[in-house]
A = this chain, B = another copy of it.
């Protein structure tokens, strides 16, 4: 293979801290990045605006938003108004788990990757902080890699797309440090499960707590924009 040949990567970009870091690293490593955001009816549409800003900052060749009206099924605190977003960690699989979310997002990324002849799909799954989510675990990713090798034209000759999970085994603090290294502007990322329309964070939900602790442990100032000054970290 020509070492100068373009490597195309579809990068799943939610607008959160993790996927922003994934995009920044992929771009810095010379990938031609095609950012895909999936709007599956999540409450925090501010994430999509954040994704646009991040895709532009890191020079994505394209940024596409795919809408899936999956929220008609409910079943998760992130898509169903009848289920409250929890304020504290829970045992087992959290109510913020969205059924089959990563399977759906990877399937959509696989379709675009095939059309683009992209060699890689990058996804910011993390098995440390999100061990409660089945579809963030290494076994799930391995199974999807196997499926990807059988699901597309590549099965009749050609190389299967590689599923790249650079954050899989990192702590939140390590992800933040890596993001800083690759120039992520974390003030533009939205992690909160119930951000307001402007993207301001609640400061109370699981995602906010994890993020805040990550900045503390990384010893990096938390640039998160919170809804109320009282919720700013000390």
Residues of A near any B CB (own CB < 8 A): 64, 66-70, 72-75, 92-93, 97-104, 106-108, 110-112, 114-115, 134-135, 137, 139-140, 143-144, 146-147, 150-156
Could you tell me the distance between the alpha carbons of A147 and B182 in the complex, rounded to whole angstroms? Answer: 33
A114: which B residues are within 8 A, CB to CB? 75, 99-100
Q: Is the CB of B111 within 8 A of A134?
A: no
The contact sample of 30 A-B pairs, CB cut-off 8 A, is: A64-B72, A64-B73, A66-B72, A67-B69, A70-B108, A70-B111, A73-B111, A93-B153, A93-B156, A97-B153, A99-B114, A99-B115, A100-B110, A100-B111, A100-B114, A100-B152, A103-B107, A103-B110, A103-B111, A103-B147, A104-B111, A134-B152, A134-B153, A134-B155, A135-B150, A135-B152, A140-B151, A140-B155, A144-B147, A146-B147
A92: which B residues are within 8 A, CB to CB? 156
Could you tell me the distance between the alpha carbons of A154 and B107 in the complex, rounded to whole angstroms? Answer: 20
Q: Which of A112, A150, A151 has the largest count of B CB atoms less than 10 A from its CB?
A: A151
Could you tell me the distance between the alpha carbons of A139 and B100 in the complex, rounded to whole angstroms? Answer: 21
Distance in angstroms from A13 CB to nearest chain B CB is 16
Q: Which residue of B lies closest to A140 (CB)?
A: B150
Distance in angstroms from A87 CB to nearest chain B CB is 22
A98: which B residues are within 8 A, CB to CB? 111
Q: Which of A93, A97, A101, A107 has the largest count of B CB atoms less than 10 A from its CB?
A: A107
A102: which B residues are within 8 A, CB to CB? 151
Q: Is the CB of B99 within 8 A of A152?
A: yes
Q: Is the CB of A69 within 8 A of B66?
A: yes
A64: which B residues are within 8 A, CB to CB? 72-73
Q: Which residue of B lies closest to A110 (CB)?
A: B100
